[in-house]
Structure 1
Amino acid sequence: MLVFPVFAVLIIATFWGDRGLTQLRQKSFEAWVLDLLGLVVQGVLIPILQVLVVARLYEWFVPELRGIWHLPGYLAFGLNFVAVDYLYYWNHRLLHTVGLWPMHQVHHSVTAMDVLGTSRNTLWSSLLIVYLWVNGLLVYLLDDPQWYLVGMSLTSGLDLWRHSRFVVTGRWGLWCLSPWLNLPQDHHWHHGGGIDNCNFGANFKLWDQLHGTYRDGADLPQLLGVAVDLSLVQQLLMPFRFNFKD
């Protein structure tokens, strides 16, 4: 799958050289725990959950729908890369509403963009992401999900890149990619300190442009991340603050 070589390349590039080593040293113990456990959950446990639990649920409740949908490869790819991307845009916006923000705030505690922070989250918050349920369903429905899986893999690889510090600066790259693709510099603004209500899209910036949430990434924010006043255990398991009165 594309996501694994992309992850390996970005990890090496992130921590290569003096700048990378400095970033490595400055990462706190708490940040390491959050990032590494998040990667295990999102990279290992969630795929296992999709195969062993979600797929079994569909087989149990709707066995007659398995492989019922035939799509040409290009449409199966587009179903994931475009249609599911639009669903994710709204899913992401919902996570920034008052009621759901506590479950997403840990992801925004990243103060320096690097690929390890891609999966920083409260451990169970992936259950709130549309990818787990919709991708599992559509893979189940398609008679040949090969190109749909290619779309999933490409989306995951782009997500890793988008959370890295490797912004696009060359004129040719900007000319080709910036008009349509969410670049790392665009996503930096989503993680900007105090400016977190923009650039919700994953693959396409079109959704933000259509719905008035786009912020141009020509420059970069001076500050990244929001303060999360929770213990490490709270951030991992229960990202809420309770005020009890006598």
Structure 2
Amino acid sequence: MSTHHAVPVVPVVPSEIVDRLARLDTASVSDALDSLGIRGVLSGVAARVPGARTAGLAHTVTYRPVDASGKTFHNAANYLDDVPAGSVVVVDNAGSTDCTNWGSLLTTLARRRDVRGTVLHGSARDVAEIRAMGYPLFSTGVTMVSGKNRVELAATGHKVTVGGTTVRPGDVIVADDNGALVVPAEHAAEVAERAERVEGTETAIAAAIAEGLRLDEARQRFGYAKPWDGPATGEHRA
């Protein structure tokens, strides 16, 4: 019996949709996903470079532990030479923070290859250098302990689970200071549209408050209960 896992087939998301998602706040994208009953948050993953934001197609990578007493070098990160430009690398080390799965050398290569960012279900190191480069990095933890000869590459291009949420290669990763989430490829266009409406609704509410309207009145007038429907005036919403 074969032990190979089937590679999930997902629709190709047009670059225009990815670019629209890149301009949106993750809070708005999360609201849009909620409106469709889709879990998107990659729980436990935090921003490591303040102000950095990104969106791109997920390129998934899975690590597994190895016997640290061995002397063989495992070349754990050589996969990066083949990551397509415009991707966000999603690394699954089962959430372990015992050793690192990303550092400054990989960041330098990622920038040269036009990789848009990295999401680690695991730990990073060299954070000061990565911040200096302004590279979008998100991880479960931070440690100085090398992953060399502690982990090895198990697979690329297979679905992974991060914080209880499934990420498939080709899904859209959106990340900013709030954290990271995944938008399933087949819902990317609708999520982008709904998230844009969320931001339109909240902009309308903020403008009304600035003009002196009470918060509760502004929320009712512009439909805060369902912001993904877009802003509307009081005569259109009760």
User: Quick check: which one's strand share is greater?
Assistant: 2
Instruction: Select the structure that is richer in helix.
Output: 1
- TM bracket, shorter-chain basis: under 0.3
TM-score, structure 1 as length reference:
0.22
